[in-house]
Structure 1
Amino acid sequence: MVRGGWEGHRPVEATEMFLPFLEDSGYAVRVEESTEVYADADEMARTDLVVQCVTMSEITAEELAGLIAAVEAGTGFTGWHGGIADSFRASSDYLHLVGGQFATHPGKEPCERQGGQEDNYLPYTVNITALGREHPITAGVEDFDLVTEQYWVLHDDLVDVLATTTHPVRPWHPWHRPVTSPAIWTRQWGAGRIVVTTPGHGLDVLEHPSVRTIITRGMTWATRTVSE
């Protein structure tokens, strides 16, 4: 479990929420407060799953190369919200690994904004795709509604989208038709599995039953298996 970066996403408190699940599921959990561990080839080779919660921040070339090599060799990689989808903005190689990058979270009407994070909290729906209704991570999860940051994501075609969210047209925004972004996706990278869940801005969102189910199932699904 690797955490750090922007404190607004509460990386310590957010990751602590999932430690009991991992330990109860039989994982031996190592918590790291920086990405330095990614450059430790021996440790990464022994790691079956990386849960990352590092928003923005920076990563060295050696650390990123170690993470990529580990995933290609079968280490699973997962996380939520900015901790995985808005990490290391200066690194195109990280973006290439993950397959999608936070671009923005549209905000409220300007006259309603008060200067806090709540300015970007909007009601929206997470829609499970046809693939998602059959996938182990999201099977049985119905479409659900949230009031929080709605991520607009730039992505490529190598992601398998399990859920989407649609940004509507509002008078104060410059786009002219609804825009649909992936909200939950998986990605196969070498022998490794990647899972990205974009909801998760606050602890209350991580406590939402559907969000928590998806994140914990994603951890299990992404984990390296014996057959790999």
Structure 2
Amino acid sequence: MSNPSTESHVSTGGRRALVVRGGWDGHHPVEATDLFLPYLKENGFDVVLSDTPESYADPETADVDLIVQCYTMGTISRDAVRGLRAAVAGGTGLVGWHGGIADSFRDAADYLQLIGGQFACHPSRHPDQRSGDQADNYLPYAVTITAPEHPVVAGLADFDLTTEQYWVLTDEYNDVLATTTHPAPPWHPWHRPVTVPAVWTRAWGRGRVVVVTPGHSLDVLENPSVRTIVERSLLWASR
């Protein structure tokens, strides 16, 4: 690919994966994606790394078999969104986790439609338990597998995490593989529990999209269930 901010890493395989990483540093985009680079290469992908979503505007993106995105917040041009949507519609898979896909490019409606969801909040601890750092939003919660026959989650049991629990706004076009339920503690303004998707897929033309909402930190991505879901997603979504 011709983008000057892109660095190529060649494996022995024939499929191509574009890894776009950057944005807010709090989600450790380089370290997080580095966790999965060996897996991609072991499964026959030539991997290209990019630090900008503007790589999507490159016409060669349409020939990529898989896009892995870990780019929290940030902005994206219309040409880049157009290129991303066209690539996925043509058969390129798109996979990401946590804010790297569900809290990207908040002002790009066409991007949000493509992935099928948007981060709304991650509820916090009781006010008396807060210390002013990220851990204020680390809550124990359950991830419930709702589509046990799907190859991305087949054989996995429900599992528990203590990390940011994403409340996401989604639509009915998603195929939900797992959910999580937010309680309604008295220090928050909502009045009843809310169940939202935690893992979903989305068909877009000939392409597949997978969004995995856990993944705030490296230890969460290294959780056996989370890592299995991400790794399976990479293969399932790929062209």
Normalising by the smaller structure, the TM-score range is over 0.9
TM-aligned CA deviation for residue 45 of structure 1: 1.9
Distance (Å, rounded) in 2 between the aligned partners of 1:162 and 1:35: 27
CA contact (8 A) 2:62 2:86 kept: no
What is the 5 A alignment of 1:6-85? 6-41=24-59, 43-85=60-102
Structure 1: which 4+ aligned runs deviate by more than 3 Å?
none
Distance (Å, rounded) in 2 between the aligned partners of 1:160 and 1:35: 26
Q: TM-score, normalised by structure 1?
A: 0.96
Distance (Å, rounded) in 2 between the aligned partners of 1:153 and 1:38: 25
Corresponding residue of 2:124: 107
Distance (Å, rounded) in 1 between the aligned partners of 2:161 and 2:80: 35
Q: TM-score, normalised by structure 2?
A: 0.92
Distance (Å, rounded) in 2 between the aligned partners of 1:88 and 1:37: 14
TM-aligned CA deviation for residue 46 of structure 1: 1.7
SS in 2 for 1:135: coil
Task: Give percent identity, aligned residues only.
Answer: 64
TM-aligned CA deviation for residue 141 of structure 1: 0.5
Count how many residue pairs are aligned between Structure 1 and Structure 2: 221
CA RMSD across the alignment: 0.5
Q: Which of 135, 138, 142 is residue 150 of structure 2 equivalent to?
A: 135
Corresponding residue of 1:161: 176
Corresponding residue of 2:217: 202
Distance (Å, rounded) in 1 between the aligned partners of 2:120 and 2:148: 27
Distance (Å, rounded) in 1 between the aligned partners of 2:67 and 2:154: 23
In structure 1, give the amino acid aligned to 2:210: V
TM-aligned CA deviation for residue 112 of structure 1: 1.1
Distance (Å, rounded) in 1 between the aligned partners of 2:107 and 2:130: 29
Distance (Å, rounded) in 2 between the aligned partners of 1:135 and 1:102: 24
Distance (Å, rounded) in 1 between the aligned partners of 2:180 and 2:88: 27
In structure 1, give the amino acid aligned to 2:54: E
Distance (Å, rounded) in 1 between the aligned partners of 2:173 and 2:54: 28
SS in 2 for 1:124: strand
Corresponding residue of 1:122: 139
1:5 aligns with 2:20: no
Corresponding residue of 1:93: 110
SS in 2 for 1:29: strand
What whole-Å deviation, never above 9, does each CA across 1:102-130 have from its counterpart, x for those lacking one? 1000000112111110000000000000x
In structure 1, give the amino acid aligned to 2:53: T
CA contact (8 A) 2:62 2:83 kept: no
Q: Which runs of 5+ in 1 are unaligned?
A: none
TM-aligned CA deviation for residue 171 of structure 1: 1.1
Distance (Å, rounded) in 1 between the aligned partners of 2:181 and 2:53: 33
Distance (Å, rounded) in 1 between the aligned partners of 2:119 and 2:45: 30
Corresponding residue of 2:6: none
| Greater strand share, structure number | 2
Distance (Å, rounded) in 1 between the aligned partners of 2:171 and 2:148: 21
In structure 2, give the amino acid aligned to 1:200: G
